[in-house]
Structure 1
Amino acid sequence: MDWQLLGLTFITVFLAEIGDKSQLAAIALGGSMKSPRAVFFGSVIALILASFLGVLVGGGVAQLFPPRILKAIAALGFAILAVRLLGSRE
């Protein structure tokens, strides 16, 4: 197993998930339901499933396009998100 890749993936996903809508939903459900343990396990399973689907789709897309094209598409997507976030005035 590539421990460096595992650590990088953990840190990236952990930091990306802090304070997002799914965490806020888990906080709200955990505080309002009688079984916070069920909320915890439900949110863990959902995150695992979403990550699994992302890895499967990413692996499939990587078979179709060369890495250079994928990096360009990702960079373009992040640039579009940045412009939209900077342009929003909510």
Structure 2
Amino acid sequence: MDWQLLFLSFGTIFLSELGDKSQLATLSLSGSSAAPKYVFIGSAAALLVASSLGVWLGDSISILAPTRLLKAIGAALFAFMAMRLFMSDSSNFS
């Protein structure tokens, strides 16, 4: 078992999920629910399915394209999103 990869993926996903809209939706649903354990089961299952889809797509795409190209595309997409955030009109946030 590749423990380094396991902890790297756990840490990356855990930190990126903190405070995002899915966590806020789960917080809202569990706060207004009489059975928060079902909210937990539903949200955990949704994250599992979404992560499984990501792993499956990543594995499938990696067969067609080299890893270096996939990393470059991912980096370019993140840079594009960051530039859009930095260059967005600040009047949208007030």
TM-score of the pair, normalised by structure 1: 0.96
Q: 1:63 maps to what in 2?
A: 63
Could you give the per-residue CA deviations for residues 24-67 of structure 1, whole angstroms, max 9, x where no partner exists? 00000000011111001100000011000000000011011012
Gaps of 5+ in 1: none
Q: Counterpart of 1:19 in 2: which secondary structure?
A: coil
CA RMSD of aligned residues (A): 0.8
- Superposition pairs of residues 64-83 of structure 1, within 5 angstroms: 64-83=64-83
Instruction: Kindly state the Cα deviation for residue 76 of structure 1 after the two structures are TM-superposed.
Output: 0.7
Mapped partners of 2:68, 2:38: distance in 1: 42
Q: 2:41 maps to what in 1?
A: 41
Q: Which runs of 4+ in 1 moved over 4 A?
A: none
Does 2:20 align with 1:2?
no
Q: Counterpart of 1:75 in 2: which secondary structure?
A: helix
Report the identity percentage.
Answer: 54
Gaps of 5+ in 2: none
Q: Counterpart of 1:78 in 2: which secondary structure?
A: helix
TM-score of the pair, normalised by structure 2: 0.92
